[in-house]
Structure 1
Amino acid sequence: MEIERDYYLKKLISRRNNGMVKVITGLRRCGKSYLLFTIFKDYLLKSGIELDHIIEIQFDDFAFKKYRKAQAAYDFVKEKIKDEKQYYILLDEVQLLEEFEDVLNRFLHIKNVDTYVTCSNAKFLSTDIITEFRGRGDEVHINPLCFYEFMSIYKGTVENGWKEFSLYGGLPPVVLLESPEQKSQYLKTVFAETYLADIIERNKIRNAEELEELINILSSSIGSLTNPKKLADTFLSVKKSKISQETIKKYLEYLSDSFLINASFRYDIKGKRYIETPLKYYFSDIGLRNARLNFRQLEETHTMENIIYNELLRRGYNVDVGVVQISEKNNEGTNSRVSYEIDFVVNKGYKRYYIQSAFDIPDRQKMIQEERPFLNIKDSFKKIIIEKNCLNPYYTEEGIFVMGVFDFLLDENSLEK
């Protein structure tokens, strides 16, 4: 069964022959290679590009191991270029190529070459591409399947699809498996043997147990505010072991660099400034998070919040945690500063939305609780509550838009309606 990923294909097509190295980043097993070597390659062939003008190297394939040497890879490509027609170079897991910066830079100087690479590490883009290419590296970040993509191949109701998606996530190999046993086993295996093994090997981690324990703690508290100090205190109080804040900070960077987790910063809406700490962490695939906890702690409230966060990132928004600080009278009758949280403050260009994730709003009291942070924001940007069980979108008396989670996830333009 073929999973269409038109959203990302269009991104690649729009960047075709733009004079930059197109860098496809993302979590391993999320579909980067399939996008490049199947979907995009098929597009090139259908658009009239001859097969011998598409040059492929998959560096994680044993058959291409000898081309991990810089000169060997460069010579292989140069030998394939026979005429002045346009050639397309497709390179998979390019971080395995020695001196890849120099090699890709040399490709940039070949006039009839357009280069596309995949990579599974964020530092590749944030440091090497920006430093070495000076604006000539163009990132296309790919995520696991979103709910819309998942439902395009799922044979069942939206409600049942949600149950499966929120349990096993959107990694394409998992979605294509048949039985729950196969899905859960794959997720557990790939977490241990691919993601963890890569992080440990790449960063030369000596105490793998510490890293695994940190992952367990983060998995148990998705969407909760935390920082290295809090995590170090948790290690001490719960695990009876000491670990420095600096070590935890490094581990968090490693997990972020491998695209396993994403951090969301706190933003003081009234003060118009970022609050350095604490942060919130979300998993880029909810199935991996659930597998890490052996499919325990399946709180749908936090799961839904994580899925909404991932969808907002996929749509290209910058996503922060909103903080609204106001002065309120306390029980003693004096004023004190109170902070209210808004789950997501999302920005893209001139657009901004304030969003609350609410699994259930059974009564007016709960609605007041969800509305309260919004009422202390005086700007005119749209304020939205995404509720799991809302069947028909509506506006509250306070002008706040309420929509169901399926309305949000299945409609790319849902926030603008």
Structure 2
Amino acid sequence: MINRPTYLEQIKPYIGKHIIKVLIGARRTGKSTLLKLLKEHLASQGASMENTLHLSFDSNELAAIQTGEDLAKYVSDNVDSSKPIRLFLDEIQEVDGWERALRSFLVDYDADIYITGSNAHVLSSDLATFITGRYVTIEVFPLSFKEFMPAYLNSNSGATSQQAFRAFAIQGGFPFQQELDFNQDASLHYLEDLFSTILLKDVVQRNSIRDVDALERIVRYAIAEEGHLLTTKNISDYFRSERRKVTAETTSNYLNAAEKAYMLYKVSREDAVGKKMLAFNEKYYVVDQGLRQALGMNNVANIDQVLEGIVCIELLRRGYKVTVGKVENAEVDFIARKGDKTEYYQVTYLAADAHTRDREFGALEKIHDSYPKTVLSLDEYPYSRNGIQGANLIDWLLK
């Protein structure tokens, strides 16, 4: 298993507390592994594993647990209610009425509860309704490059960090690749099937979508246009030109459903000077760049889009709220905020020529505040000017 200490550090303050710890994120991002790592951590700290249940609802062994009532009975039959209990419940959304069972566990037991799920709509709406104020969410993403690189180098003796990054840019960071020794063809085949699984189980089934073909076409289009400004009308107009009738409302609903499955992330625009949110044109970023390549898009040929997507997801992984900035007629790739911190980022493949530097640095120079401003590129010796820092993207990812 790939160790993921960043997430363990986020969970630690809540261990043993009478609050539900919810690990959310796309399928196969490593939530189940995190539960196992957490159990190992607890055991290493001397915690008793008695009166502990670890249930994975993707397993056929638990096929009899269909409803919240089934789950409550199973727990009652398998724990000692007179002692503290610990529950690890994996892919909880597979159980109908699970939220009522969890609420009863909080009432009836001295319970330390950890759950995972792969659909934001189910988790957020039901948790908010039945367990208000008694849960905390931790979003789990595919491997960061900092997590990916040591695993890749361990499987590819003699490889360099640059080779590891090339593999990361093409194959992405879904953890199962380690089981495949990061073989590119095998990994991409796996990712193609994973895309279909997420689409079917977490988008189609969870939202009762009938026109699966239109859904897949819309999601593929959004991924292909990653980092480009989009409106639902633009997308529906495009499909109309392809002789397919898809309304703007349907497009919006389908994209929203893909967001709820953590497949896509929508980033809104704001006026970087006036700090006002702009109503139209947003950007979408795929949760992992390997899915782009697996769907037949060329990540190397579209490296600027891919790098921008990697930075967006990394900022989200680091806990920032992210928007796209507009300043006069220029665009700032990302405005990242966390607490009282604000940072500005431009992302480009290389900033070696004067035209590129003027475009990337020029946009940031129009913002007259004292917050950090950075241009990320793959230049070995990044260029800086007028107080705006140039940084090597790989070094920034490894910070």
TM interval, shorter chain, is over 0.9
Q: 1:349 is matched with which residue?
A: 339
Aligned length: 393
Give, in angstroms, the shift of residue 166 of structure 1.
Answer: 0.5
Q: 2:2 is matched with which residue?
A: 3
* Alignment partner of 1:381 out of 368, 371, 378: 371
Q: Is the 8 A contact 2:57 2:90 kept in 1?
A: yes
Give the counterpart letter for 1:342 in structure 2. V
Q: Does residue 1:372 correspond to 2:362, yes or no?
A: yes
Give the counterpart letter for 1:276 in structure 2. A
Give the counterpart letter for 2:88 in structure 1. L
> What TM-score, normalized to structure 2?
0.94
Give, in angstroms, the shift of residue 249 of structure 1.
Answer: 0.6
Q: 2:103 is matched with which residue?
A: 105
Tell me the distance in 2 between the aligned counterparts of 1:79 and 1:47.
28
Tell me the distance in 2 between the aligned counterparts of 1:217 and 1:394.
34
Q: Is the 8 A contact 1:220 1:293 kept in 2?
A: no
Give, in angstroms, the shift of residue 279 of structure 1.
Answer: 0.5
- Please report the RMSD computed on the Cα atoms of aligned residues, expressed in angstroms: 1.7
Q: 1:340 is matched with which residue?
A: 330
Give, in angstroms, the shift of residue 162 of structure 1.
Answer: 0.9
* Alignment partner of 2:169 out of 154, 166, 170: 166
Q: 2:322 is matched with which residue?
A: 319
CA gap of 1:140–1:95, structure 2 versus 1, over 3 A, is same
* Alignment partner of 1:199 out of 194, 203, 207: 203
Give, in angstroms, the shift of residue 390 of structure 1.
Answer: 3.5
> What TM-score, normalized to structure 1?
0.90
Unaligned runs of 5+ in 2: 154-158
Tell me the distance in 2 between the aligned counterparts of 1:297 and 1:358.
13
Unaligned runs of 5+ in 1: 326-338, 412-417
* Alignment partner of 2:125 out of 106, 124, 127: 127
Q: Does residue 1:53 correspond to 2:56, yes or no?
A: no
Residue aligned with 1:138, SS: strand
1:233-279 C-alpha deviation (Å, 9 max, x unpaired): 11112x22111111001100110000001000001122221112210
Give, in angstroms, the shift of residue 66 of structure 1.
Answer: 1.4
CA gap of 1:384–1:298, structure 2 versus 1, over 3 A, is same
Q: Is the 8 A contact 1:353 1:383 kept in 2?
A: yes
Give the counterpart letter for 2:313 in structure 1. N
Give, in angstroms, the shift of residue 19 of structure 1.
Answer: 2.0
Alignment of 1:13-412 (within 5 A): 13-36=12-35, 38-82=36-80, 84-155=82-153, 156-178=159-181, 179-237=183-241, 239-293=242-296, 295=298, 298-325=301-328, 339-391=329-381, 395-396=384-385, 398-411=386-399
Q: Is the 8 A contact 1:59 1:68 kept in 2?
A: no
Residue aligned with 2:96, SS: coil
Residue aligned with 1:30, SS: coil
Give, in angstroms, the shift of residue 51 of structure 1.
Answer: 3.0
Q: Is the 8 A contact 1:219 1:292 kept in 2?
A: no
Runs of 4+ in 1 over 6 A off after TM superposition: none
Tell me the distance in 1 between the aligned counterparts of 2:30 and 2:319.
18
Give the counterpart letter for 1:133 in structure 2. I
Give the counterpart letter for 1:153 in structure 2. A
1:205-234 C-alpha deviation (Å, 9 max, x unpaired): 221111111122112211000011000011
Q: Is the 8 A contact 1:28 1:195 kept in 2?
A: no
Q: Is the 8 A contact 2:188 2:293 kept in 1?
A: no
- Give me the identity figure in percent: 31
Residue aligned with 1:161, SS: helix
Tell me the distance in 2 between the aligned counterparts of 1:63 and 1:206.
30
Q: Is the 8 A contact 2:119 2:202 kept in 1?
A: no
Tell me the distance in 1 between the aligned counterparts of 2:178 and 2:90.
22
Tell me the distance in 2 between the aligned counterparts of 1:150 and 1:108.
37
Give the counterpart letter for 1:401 in structure 2. Q
Give, in angstroms, the shift of residue 399 of structure 1.
Answer: 0.7
Which deviates the most, 311-320 or 207-216? 207-216
Tell me the distance in 2 between the aligned counterparts of 1:368 and 1:235.
36
Residue aligned with 2:65, SS: helix
